[in-house]
Each structure stands twice: as C-alpha cells, then as structure tokens.
Chains A and B, each alone.
Chain A
C-alpha cells in the first residue's frame, strides 16, 4: 500500500465553521451574473398558481370519498447513545441534548423544534390562503419564539405566549397580508390543536427485564448505562448551578429571564416548490411537505405529523431524565403517539368536525426490572414536568406581526 501521509502538522488548529465556504454557491465572479442565474430557480408565484388548482380539486372531493385516518409518530430512545429517533412513515430525525445534560449535541432539542413545527404549519396555511385568494408571494419565512408570562401562571417551564413574525415579499397590500395571516392561523390544524387544552392519554406497555446485567464482550453499555451516566451529568449540573447560585443569587434568575425571552427563535422557510425547511438550533434542518393530493411531493412529513412527533420526543427525553433522577434501571424506551385526523372537517355534513387532530394518545413501551407501581410513579412525574405534555394540556396563545422583506438570522 502506498503511503499517503504527505505532511504531518503538529498544531491545535480550531475547526472553524467559517471555513465552511459557500462551496458550489460561490462559482460566480460577479454578483450581477449570480443574481441573473439565480432566476433559474423555480418561482413561488408559479407554485401558488399550481397550488390554487390543487386546492380547488381537493375541496371539490366529496366527503363520501374521504375517511378519517390515524396519524402516528414513533420515538425510540437509542440505546447507549440515549438520543431520540423520531420516525413518521418513512421520515426520521434525531433529537438530542447537549453534553452537560448527558447528550452529545447531535440532534434537535424538542421545545425549539416544536415552535418550528407550529411556524411550519402556519406558513403552509398562509400559502394555502394566498393561493386560494390569488395573492402573489415571492418569498415567505416565519420566525417564532415564546415570551415570558405577563402575569405569573404557576405553569411548568415550556415556551409559550408565542409571537411569530411573517417575513414576506409580496406586491399585496398590508390589509391583504394581514387578512391572510388571520385566515392562515384560523385554518392551521396545528395552531388550533396547540391553542386548545388537550390532555394526551397514556397507556403503559411494560415488559420485565432481569435486574442482573453483566457488561462485557458483545454486551456493551446500553440504555441502562446511558441513564446512569445521565444521572452523573444531571447531578454535576445541579451542583454547578447551586454553587453559582450561592455565589450570585440573581444570576440564575437572569439566565432564566434570558431563556424565557429569546429575541429570535427557530424559523421556517418556504421553498419555491412549496416545501418547508425548518431551521432548529441554528444548525439542524427538517423538511415538511404535503402528500400529492395537496399538491406536494411528499419529500418530508406533514406538520400535523410533526406536532405528534414533538410530543413523543419530549416525553421520551423527560422519561430518560426522570429515570436518571430516580436511579431506575431501564433497558428500553419507545413511544407511539397517535391521533385521528379527519380530512372531511369543514366539508358538507362535517362543518362541526375539528380541523385539528383528535384523541391524542401515547403508548409507552418500556423494558425494565422495576415494578409496575414504580413505573407508574415515574411516568406521573414525567407528565408533571414534561414541557410538551404540559404545552398540550394547557391552552396557548399566538400573536403575529408582518415584516416586508427577507428574514435575517441574528
């Protein structure tokens, strides 16, 4: 074999992200040529015309030809890594947390993803309204973030009091854009679901596993050991926070205030082909699309499925944390979240049927040597603090503003 070590540099160079050049986007010598050639991209205006035809065909479908369906999201806590894998039909993404909480910073965090999912459904609904009303749009991005309560509510921590900003390029009047926003929110199944108080119903599927476990050979560390490691990480984080609090009692409150009042949250960009790209934690991308019958190409899950997904990843994540807190031995955790969605909603004879998914429920599949009572208490503790469970359980509010022009990340 040929030796290919051409040089050996001894240095501790940082792996700079700035060196992540624009690569293939950077081939033009002048901005003028670049701008000219970028008109080669498909146009959102064109897409809206096609979407209008698609929506009219969809609306003309008789409710007799349609049926209610069960929408499903599956989440698995991946063994030794502990990360959450979400699967919806053939789509997937990974949820994770940072190193300080026992994760490895390799996937999206749930509360941020959740807000992006809400924004995605609002963007989708905005496009639908624009298409139906024949209003041209050249670009659309929705940014969303939660805000602190104006009055103390005693609720557990989760992002709420949502403010979303619609960044838009359109020749339409301010009044038209505002009307679109109001109609879009009214017709968003996800915003409708989140605004209502919905208590997800739990079923526990418990399988016993032996308490004794030998790690060695091919029996590598697994979920049980991940949870032990997470316990160490959580205890260390707590000790650090307590030490900081002793040193500066106001600091934690300041940090919390900051966390509750982000100036910019995740955002959703609409591509000229109608596909939506969610940017989460500034560095992860998730695609949402529609099935063919709604004029999409099914390149990603729908936002209706996405919203069940974030409930699942959050409950799974908090279950891991609570198992660590309680020093439980848990060998596997997976979750199935289901709800019924009725495409007949609003059609003749179904005017009263809700556009939001109904009967939200989840099954916790768990393998553990712990007894049923311990598992029950563990999950009760999870439901008490799980951000998404409580976000669903409580009513929520949304406000919007409209900004003309492109979105800029801070």
Chain B
C-alpha cells in the first residue's frame, strides 16, 4: 500500500474541511485565533475516547457466544408520493435521498452512490478506531475520504463507483508502520467492506397490489407518485436529448465523500459537500446510539438505489406506479470470530429485498420492469460484483 506524507501547507489546499464555512455564527465568538484554539481544548478528546473504547471492546470480546444471537437488520425505503424522493428509515433513524432537478428530483437529499462510498468510509473509520483502541495507539483526529477510480482494463460492468481508493487523514504520534498496520487490520475487520468486496446476489421478492388505471386528480386527490414518474419521464427524455446533442464523457471524481470521527466516537458522513449523516454504535459497543450503524446503512443504500432506479425505469417504460416501497434485510451474527464461531462471517448474510408496489400494470410488466432495474441499478450491481479497496495514509495536524 502506498503511504504518502504531505506537508501542512499542501494539506491546507485540500478541500476536506468545510471549516471555512464553519467559522461563522456561534463559531466566530473569539477575537483571536489563539484564544479560539485554547478554548477548543474544552471539547472532549479522541484519545480519551480510545481509552474508554479499549475497555469496552475488551468487555465485548469477553462475552461468551452462548449469550449472543444473530439478529435481522432491516432498512425500509419509501418513494414519497408526489415528491418522488426516497425516505430511508432504520429503527428510529431516517434520511432523505434525492436527485437533482435535471433528473426530475428537487435536490433535497443525498444521492445514493456518494452516500454508499461514505458508508464504506464510515465503517472503515470505526474499524480503524477499534484497532487503535485495542492496540493502545493514540489518535487525535481521523477522517477518511473515499472515491472510485476508472477501470484500468475495460470490464463491461454497468456504471457505478468502484476500484475504491480511500485516504486516511490521521493525526497521531504513532509510527508510519503502526498506522499502516492499523489500516490493514481495520479493513480486514470492517464488516461492510468485507460484504462489498464479495459477490453477493440479492434476491428481490415482489409484493404486488393492483390499482385502478383510471385516476382523477382534483380536490384532495392531489398529484401522487404516478404523476411524479410522468414528470420524471419528461426530465429523463429531455436529459437524453441534451446528452445526444452535447455528449460529455463521464469522469471519475478525484475527491469523494468523507467520514469524520468525532471526539465521542460518533461518525459524521459528509455527502455532496452539504448533507450530513451520523453513524454511531449501540451502548454495548461503547456508543450512544446517536445514529444508525454503518452496517445498517449498507443495507439502506441498496434500498434507496433500487427504489430510485425503479422510479427511473418506470419513467422510461412509461408505467403508471401509485406506490413503491422497498425493505432490505440481512442477518448479522455478533458471535462471528468467537469460540465455536471462528468461521462465521463478520458481514451481514442472506441479504434480501422485498419490493412493495401498487400499480395498474400487469404482473408480467412489473417483473420485466424490476429485471430491467436490476440490470442497471448501481448498488445492486456493486453488491453482485466483487469490489476492490486500496488505501493511503496522510498525516495531518488536528484542525484548531
């Protein structure tokens, strides 16, 4: 693995921090930067968190397998009616996924592929923190940025983010060799990255409800999902036309989303430079359950992508769709790696999707529509194919 050291001046040019936008409002109360940096020490410290996490992980690792059982993880996605955007719900947590105006969205939420990469980075960051805690290695700040890279050899795969390169921005007194060892162990122990690296074909079950073809829009019967999809068709056809007239080759982005570890161990995912999702661990792993786990969100991004692409394919096929919801489930076994369960995989197993649809279209049309969705859905294909990850480590000084 490549390891790169950059000087602080070069780092200053990196767009990894929205710190400049942060220096407003309540952040701007100090007259001098010096005073600000003194008072910034009031924040909790990541080193302190790592010590607490070490104790926690040791207690967790000492739990006998007989006390634990596998659980089903669930992520629910609903295509929100006239707005068309996707609402993800995992336990009590939620976020909205959307696309831009050009694709018939309203730019009101996160885009799935970028979110997915951030979810991978978040799980890697959590795993890195675990490894550092277990080994007693101090870390003062940790941010992981991640993006896909073009195929070196043509693969004929459908377009989706792949050949992931993630950069670990770390402030730590540890040696280069120690930081590299942490990175290798972190990736090995990341349940999400282990899942994504493998080829996992996810079965899609369809739950079909027939609705009437006739529909009168007036009064309280406002426009619904059906009209959203008709609008999306207009947008898609217009976009196709524009692309024909002015073809732009797709270029891989050089910087992607990132996940930052807070001093309390919670992780903040920054997506498309303007949306945040918070990930945390349950109490038994030393977290405060302030957000969903990265493992749950990995199921979530499959759900939001399938829902989104289903809407888009329905638009292209000119289908009438009145409601659309997707549930993604998988089993996770916390006994994995413990005595008697040494061969149990650490990643969620038996991934499956249930797609609930209400439509006047016949079942055969629905079947074809969903097959076509599977053929092009980026996340469905990310899961179906094997994936690769590479990393590099960049030392930083904690932003003051």
Contact = CB atoms under 8 A, between A and B. Distances in A.
Interface of A: 1-13, 15, 19-30, 33-34, 37-42, 50, 53-54, 57-58, 61, 64-67, 69-72, 78-81, 83, 85, 88-92, 94, 99-100, 102, 104-107, 216-218, 220-221, 229, 232-233, 235-237, 239-240, 271-273, 275, 277, 279, 283-285, 287, 291-299, 302, 304-305, 341, 343
B363 A8 contact: yes
A269 B108 CA distance: 27
A61 B205 contact: no
Contacts of B172: none
Given A19-B74, A106-B83, A24 B295 contact: yes
Contact of B83 (A58, A81, A341): A81
A2 B201 contact: yes
Given A21-B71, A271-B290, A217 B29 contact: no
A34 to B, nearest CB: 8
B371 interface: yes
Contacts of A287: 278, 290
Interface in B73-125: 73-74, 76, 78, 80-83, 85, 87, 89-94, 96, 101-102, 104, 106-109
A299 B264 CA distance: 10
A129 B178 CA distance: 43
Nearest to A26: B71
Contact of A23 (B30, B74, B374): B74
A343 B220 contact: no
Nearest to A85: B108
A217 B42 CA distance: 55
Contacts of B42: 53-54, 57-58, 292-295
Contacts of B44: 50, 273, 295, 297
Given A20-B76, A78-B107, A100-B220, A89 B363 contact: no
Contact of A13 (B81, B356, B371): B356
A6 B56 CA distance: 42
A236 B220 contact: yes
B264 A70 contact: no
Contact of B26 (A20, A50, A90, A291): A291
Nearest to A7: B205
Contact of A233 (B52, B55, B108, B220): B220
28 contacts: A4-B371, A10-B208, A15-B325, A19-B74, A23-B72, A27-B71, A28-B69, A28-B284, A29-B69, A33-B63, A41-B288, A61-B39, A65-B30, A66-B31, A81-B83, A81-B85, A90-B270, A99-B222, A102-B222, A217-B234, A237-B220, A271-B288, A271-B290, A285-B94, A293-B42, A295-B44, A299-B266, A299-B268
A22 B201 CA distance: 25
Contacts of B275: 92
Contacts of A88: 25
A204 B42 CA distance: 41
Nearest to A225: B223
A256 B70 CA distance: 48
Contacts of B87: 106
What are the 4 A-B residue pairs with the smallest beta carbon separation, nearest first? A218-B238, A41-B283, A292-B43, A236-B220
A116 to B, nearest CB: 14
Query: Interface centre among B32, B207, B239, by most A CB within 10 Å?
Result: B207
B60 interface: yes
B214 interface: no
Chain B contact residues (Cβ within 8 angstroms of A): what range? 35 or more
B134 interface: no
Interface stretch (B3-11, B16-24, B387-395): B16-24
B67 interface: yes
A11 B24 CA distance: 54
A40 B238 CA distance: 55
Contact of A284 (B29, B69, B80, B94): B94
Contacts of B24: 69, 72, 89
Given A8-B208, A72-B25, 10 more contacts: A7-B205, A21-B74, A69-B25, A90-B18, A90-B22, A94-B108, A233-B222, A292-B43, A299-B264, A302-B26
Pick the most buried of A72, A216, A217: most chain B CB atoms within 10 A of its CB: A217
B316 interface: no
B56 to A, nearest CB: 4
A9 B208 contact: yes
B215 interface: no
B68 interface: yes
Contacts of A94: 96, 108-109
Interface string B30-60: 1110011001111110000000100110011
Nearest to B202: A4
Nearest to A343: B29
B293 to A, nearest CB: 6
Interface string B191-233: 0000000000111111111000000001110110000000100
A132 to B, nearest CB: 14
A359 to B, nearest CB: 14
Contact of B207 (A11, A99, A272, A295): A11
A221 B230 CA distance: 11
Contacts of A3: 371
Contacts of A23: 71-74, 90-91, 296
B332 interface: yes
A388 B89 CA distance: 29
Given A37-B63, A218-B242, A284-B94, A275 B290 contact: yes
Interface string B250-273: 000000000000111010101000
